[in-house]
């Protein structure tokens, strides 16, 4: 294979960025809070050079080989685990989501890994995760407190440990209200049940892949509110269309609300996510989201960081 000169130049610049980042341990006083900003600049430079290398045609395996020392140096952070080390077998595991929500940093202080963890926990990329969860909590709360003619039902798809539902005050839940959680990871549902407290009396769990769980979920429906937080980030268009159609035709009550969130193109964290964390997301702009919902009453907005789209669909009565 012929290597183009500009690809070689990109790899050299990437190698320099890797070296510069790793030298931080010797060149910076990591016990000084001011070093956080300097290290952050080097991390951004590293991300820029990963992007430049990918866009100039450097093979993925070459990029991965060059950045491997950074992955090794940061391996003790929850965000920088290798693909083989993801505890649930895929990067969006519920434990990482819980970690992001807790904003914990249990890495040894004043180390390179501690600063990387601190940077990521304070970054827009992790804040958008927290924003998405808070938005779903608001949607559930608004539905439960709105004027009603009868009990309300909520379905949370890819629920994880249901941090959004756990934030709902039990006092606003009325007799007959019910919540259904479904997730591919049974451990996530077990944790949800441990933490839901009084809300467990109103909650049913259905473990399994969402496409295999459609029949039991349909038997528990229809639902006034169907929430999907983040799953669309991992579904190709064919699977996304299939899930969307199933929700609109089999799960959501006529006049009900279907909501899902998705990461947008132009995410500056895409390159570190992919090449340092093996975390690949499917990005969609508003036009791509609307293409999944032809003829529907759709409202698309952004959460405060601008990194994720929040899509609300009102089903026809």
Query: Domain of 233: which CATH number?
Result: 3.40.50.150
- Residue 4 pLDDT more than 90? no
- Listed residues 123, 156, 171: the one ending a domain: 123
In which residue are the tokens 């100039």 written? 56
- Cβ pair 211, 168 in contact under 8 A: no
Answer yes or no: do 159 and 269 share one domain: yes
Higher pLDDT, 273 or 317: 273
pLDDT band at 184 (very low <50, low <70, confident <90, very high): very high
Answer yes or no: do 58 and 76 share one domain: yes
Higher pLDDT, 94 or 172: 172
For the chain, what is the domain count? 2
Residues found in the chain = 317
- Cβ pair 292, 240 in contact under 8 A: yes
Answer yes or no: do 161 and 33 share one domain: no
Answer yes or no: do 229 and 117 share one domain: no
- Cβ pair 139, 152 in contact under 8 A: no
pLDDT in tens, 13-49: 999 999 999 999 899 999 998 898 999 999 999 999 9
- Residue 229 pLDDT more than 60? yes
Token pair recorded at residue 303: 């959460």
pLDDT in tens, 81-136: 644 455 555 545 788 889 899 998 888 888 888 998 898 899 998 999 999 999 99
Answer yes or no: do 294 and 164 share one domain: yes
- Give the pLDDT score at 181: 98
Answer yes or no: do 57 and 205 share one domain: no
Answer yes or no: do 130 and 110 share one domain: no
Q: Is 228 exposed, middle or buried (0-12, 13-18, 19+ CB in 10 A)?
A: buried
Helix extents (H) in 94-175: 94-102, 112-121, 124-145, 163-166
- Listed residues 123, 146, 163: the one ending a domain: 123
- Cβ pair 277, 81 in contact under 8 A: yes
What would the mean pLDDT of 67-73 be, rounded to a whole number? 90
- Domain range for 15: 5-123
**What whole-number percentage of the chain has pLDDT above 90?**
68
Q: Among 1-5, 20-24, 55-59, which is the least confidently predicted range?
A: 1-5
Answer yes or no: do 147 and 100 share one domain: no
Answer yes or no: do 100 and 160 share one domain: no
Answer yes or no: do 258 and 174 share one domain: yes
pLDDT band at 189 (very low <50, low <70, confident <90, very high): very high
- Residue 1 pLDDT more than 70? no
- Listed residues 80, 102, 123: the one ending a domain: 123
Answer yes or no: do 133 and 54 share one domain: no
Answer yes or no: do 90 and 167 share one domain: no
């Amino acid at each position: 294979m012929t290597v183009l000169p500009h690809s070689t130049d990109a790899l050299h610049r990437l190698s320099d960025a890797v070296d510069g980042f790793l030298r931080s341990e010797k060149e910076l006083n990591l016990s000084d809070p001011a070093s956080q900003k300097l290290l952050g600049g080097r991390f951004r430079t590293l991300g820029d050079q990963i992007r430049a290398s990918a866009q100039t045609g450097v093979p993925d395996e070459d990029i991965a080989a060059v950045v491997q020392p950074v992955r090794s140096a940061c391996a003790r952070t929850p965000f920088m685990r290798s693909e083989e080390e993801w505890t649930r077998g895929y990067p969006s595991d519920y434990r990482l989501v819980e970690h992001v929500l807790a904003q914990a940093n249990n890495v040894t202080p004043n180390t390179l890994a501690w600063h990387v963890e601190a940077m990521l926990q304070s970054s827009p990329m992790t804040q958008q995760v927290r924003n998405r969860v808070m938005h779903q909590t608001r949607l559930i709360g608004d539905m439960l407190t709105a004027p009603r003619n009868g009990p309300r039902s909520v379905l949370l798809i890819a629920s994880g440990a249901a941090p959004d539902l756990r934030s709902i005050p039990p006092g606003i839940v009325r007799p007959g209200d019910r919540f259904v959680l479904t997730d591919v990871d049974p451990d996530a549902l077990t944790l949800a049940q441990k933490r839901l407290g009084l809300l467990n009396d109103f909650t049913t769990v259905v473990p399994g892949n969402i496409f295999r769980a459609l029949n039991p979920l349909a038997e528990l429906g229809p639902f006034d509110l169907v929430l999907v937080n983040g799953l669309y980030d991992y579904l190709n268009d064919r699977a996304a269309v299939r899930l969307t159609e199933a929700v609109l035709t089999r799960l959501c009550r006529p006049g009900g609300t279907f909501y899902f969130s998705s990461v947008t193109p132009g995410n500056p964290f895409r390159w570190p996510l992919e090449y340092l964390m093996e975390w690949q997301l499917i990005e969609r702009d508003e036009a791509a989201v609307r293409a999944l919902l032809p003829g529907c009453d759709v409202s698309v907005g952004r959460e405060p960081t601008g990194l994720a789209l929040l899509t609300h669909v009102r089903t026809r009565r």
